[in-house]
Structure 1
Amino acid sequence: MNKVSFYAMIVFYFVAGLNHFLNPEFYLPLIPGYLPKPHLLNLMSGLAEVGLALALLFRSSRRWAALGIVCMLVAFIPAHLHFIQAGHCVGNLCVPPWVGWARLLIIHPLLIWWAWKARGFTGAV
């Protein structure tokens, strides 16, 4: 993993995490109805993304942060399945059905692979 990719990952998860706090209305419809306390789950997801992004900065916590991101992404799979099962619209978010499948089958595994590669990054602090 090169430096640009590594720091892009940190920015990606940090900004995504902040967005959970700034725009919760975007995420709440994506949380399956069978999960309790969607507002709390949204805040916890945002906190996890921000915290794990920051933990990637330090060599001493990088391996665990990367593994935490992998676990977090696996935990997000029910939201992806909910999005697919709900059809092409969840809340105000409407996209063609293939987008949900692409997120689950292509983008999600790539994000997991990206996080897995970050475990061994030796640059930075």
Structure 2
Amino acid sequence: MPGLPLLIIALFFLLGGIGHFISADFFIMAMPDYLPYHKELVLISGVFEVLGAIGLLVPKTRLLAGYGLIALILAVYPANINMALQPEKYHDISVFLLYLRLPMQLLLICFVWWAIAPERIQHKDENR
């Protein structure tokens, strides 16, 4: 049975991934103009969030899923920067929260890293 940190992070990404389909327009609006295929990228990132969440709950895929989610957080970081730089597009979100999201993404990476620590340590020990 996965521990509480894994369940929390899996639920977070599962809900976030589903949100990419339910509220695709919001996520599309966050996409930087220099990226093409906004809708497709939003849907793909939603798929990977859901897959990552499920992968965290399966012991054999947990490590790969954790690394994948960290990569995904880094990949979507430009959208978070874009949101902070264009607060006028997000009337329902305070400017403070738009900027707070930036360091929170880094904390989220740390949380995923910490949640998969047992698998990282086991993998390291197996490869010695």
TM-score normalised by length of structure 2:
0.84
RMSD: 1.6
Count of matched residue positions in the alignment of Structure 1 and Structure 2? 118
8 Å Cα contact 2:6-2:57 kept in structure 1? no
- The share of aligned pairs that are identical, in percent, is 26
Aligned to 2:44: 44
Q: What is the deviation of 1:93?
A: 4.4
**Larger relative contact order (C-alpha < 8 A, sep ≥ 6)?**
1
8 Å Cα contact 2:10-2:54 kept in structure 1? yes
Between Structure 1 and Structure 2, the one with more helix by share is 2
1:55-95 Cα distance to aligned partner (Å, 9 max, x none) = 11111111111111111101111111111211x232x5443
The partner residue of 1:119 within 110, 116, 119 is: 116
Larger gyration radius, structure 1 or structure 2 = 2
- Separation (CA, whole Å) in 2 of partners of 1:25 and 1:57: 29
Runs ≥4 residues deviating over 4 A: none
8 Å Cα contact 2:84-2:99 kept in structure 1? yes
Deviates more, 1:44-53 or 1:18-27: 18-27
**Aligned 1:15-54 pairs, distance under 5 A:** 15-54=15-54
Unaligned runs of 5+ residues in structure 1 are none
Unaligned runs of 5+ residues in structure 2 are 120-128
TM-score normalised by length of structure 1:
0.86
